[in-house]
Amino acid sequence: MYKFSNSAVLYNIHYKIRMLSQNNIRLSLCIFGVQVLFMLKNKRRILLLIAFMLIVAVFINYSFSHATVNKNAKEASKLVFDEVKPEKKPKFNYKSILSNKLVSFENKLDYKAKRSRFNGVVLVAYKNQVIFEKAYGYKDPTAKDLLTTDISFELASVSKQFTAAAVLKLAELGKVDINQALVNYFPEFKFENIQVRDLLKHSSGLWDYMNLTEAYWHQEKAPDQFEVLELINQHQSSLSFRPGSRFDYNNTNYAILVALTEKLSGQSFRDFLQQHFFSPHCLDETYVGVQNRSRENVITAFQPYGRSYINLPPSFHNGALGDKGIHTTANNLWIWFKQLKNYKLLSKASVHQMFNLDTFKQYDYGMGFRTRVNSSGEIEIYHDGLWDGFRNGLHYFPEDELTYIVLSHTQNRSKVYFQNYLENQAKKMLNNLKLNEFSQNNSSKQKFNNG
C-alpha cells in the first residue's frame, strides 16, 4: 500500500504543471489566463477560478492524450513487430538512382538552413543506405569556423537507447532479470516494488534527481549515478504513483540503470559499451561522458544572443550518465542504429522490447525509444533530445524504411522546424522513388509473363 506524503503530492503537482505547460498549448493558455486573473481584485474569486481552470485543463489534456496514446499503443504494438525488417543485400544504389532528386532536395535544405540559422549535421538513410549527409553552419558560430560531418555531438536524451541496450545486453548475458525488483540488485534501495522494467519504461514513480540535487546536494562535484541512488534513498519520501501504473518521463530512471549496469558488469559504463558495442562495430567516434567535449573532434554548444552566439558551459548535472552523456557523429549514430534494428547488437527479442509498446499501456515509450502511430497513420520509432544547448533527433519509419538524424548545437528552436521540413521533403522524394520502383517491377513481371 503506497502512501503519498504532502511533499510528494506538492512536488508532483509542481512538476506536472511545469512539464504540461511546456508541451500542451491548451494548458499554457489556461496558465496565461491564471496570470491575467491575478490582476483582478477579488482574491477569493481568483483562487476559485485558478483551481477550476487548472482542473479543467489537466482533465482535457489527460482525456485527449489518454485516447490518442492508448490508440497509438494498441496499433503500434500490433504493427511494429512485422515492420522492423532485417538487413538485406541492396538491389540498387539509391544514392545514384536519386542523384537528380537529391540535388533538388539539397537545394531546398540549404535554403531552409540559411533562413532558419540552423547549425548542425543531417543524415538521411533509405533501406540501410545513406543517401544524404551534410553539415550546415559553423562549429563555432562566433569564429565562423565551418562545421564538418566528422564532428561528434552530445546526444542528450537520444543517449537513452544506449543505456537501454546495455541493460538488455546484461539480460541476455543472464546477469539481470528486468522483471525483478531493483532491490534484488540494490538491497539498500528503499522502494521495494520498482522493477528494472519500470525504469526502462519510465513508469517508476521516482522524482527528478536534478531537482533533488539542487535542493539537497552541497558538494562542488555533481552526483554520479550511484550518488543519485543515495539522494533518492535519503530525500524522496514516497513515490509519485504506483510503479508500472503510469508513464512519467524522468531522467532519474536512466541514471539508475547505468548504476545497475556498472554494478552487475563490474565495469564502468564506458568500458561496458566499448567492449560490447563500440569496438566490435567500429564506432570509433563515439564517446561517453562530458569530459570528451575537450576533444578536438567533439563540439561544444552555443546559445543565440541577439544576432550572435555565446558559448554554453556544461551543466552542473553532468555527473550522472545514462539519461545523456553519449557523444557521437551522425554517421556513427546511423551505424549504431542500423546495426541495432538489424539485430546485430542485440537479439531480435531485445530489439522488439526497445521498439515495441506494452499492449494496453497508455503511453508511447518502448525502452530507450518512443513509438507512435503519427497523424499520417505511419509507425514512427524515434527519440529527440535537448541538453546543454544540444538539440538532436533520430527518427525511423519502418514502413518506408526511412531514417533521418539531425544533430545541432546552438539551442535554437529552428532545429524543430528544420527537422520537420527535412522529414516532409525526404518523404516526397522517396514516395516518387517507390512509385518508380513499383512500376518497374510490374513492367518486369509483365515482360516475363509475355515471354
Taking the chain (451 residues) in consecutive chunks of 10 residues, what is each chunk's mean pLDDT? 36 42 43 47 62 58 42 50 60 88 96 92 96 96 92 97 99 98 97 97 96 93 95 96 94 98 98 98 93 82 88 91 96 98 97 83 84 89 95 96 96 86 94 60 40 38
Give residue 189's pLDDT. 97
Alpha-helix residue ranges (DSSP H) falling in 149-221 = 160-172, 196-200, 209-216
192 lies in a domain? no
226 lies in a domain? no
40 lies in a domain? yes
Whether the CB-CB separation of 293 and 314 falls below 8 Å is answered with yes
**Cα four-point dihedral sign 127, 128, 134, 139:** positive
Give residue 85's pLDDT. 61
Cα distance between residue 433 and residue 364, in whole Å? 30
Does 41 share its domain with 135? no
Whether the CB-CB separation of 156 and 390 falls below 8 Å is answered with yes
CATH number at residue 390: 3.40.710.10
Does 10 share its domain with 76? yes
408 lies in a domain? yes
Give residue 48's pLDDT. 66
Does 70 share its domain with 104? no
User: 83, 116, 147 — which closes off a domain?
Assistant: 83
Number of domains in the chain: 2
Range of the domain at 277: 84-164+263-450
298 lies in a domain? yes
Does 269 share its domain with 370? yes
Does 321 share its domain with 418? yes
Does 301 share its domain with 419? yes
340 lies in a domain? yes
> Across the strands, what pairs with 372?
380
Does 128 share its domain with 51? no
Dihedral of CA atoms 344, 390, 114, 329 in degrees, nearest 10, equals -30
50 lies in a domain? yes
Nearest C-alpha neighbor of 127 from the set 401, 436, 389: 401
User: 83, 109, 129 — which closes off a domain?
Assistant: 83
Does 125 share its domain with 274? yes
User: 83, 109, 142 — which closes off a domain?
Assistant: 83
Give residue 111's pLDDT. 96
Nearest C-alpha neighbor of 102 from the set 451, 432, 335: 432
Does 119 share its domain with 156? yes
Cα distance between residue 228 and residue 243, in whole Å? 19
Does 293 share its domain with 396? yes
365 SS3 class? strand
Does 34 share its domain with 95? no
Does 14 share its domain with 126? no
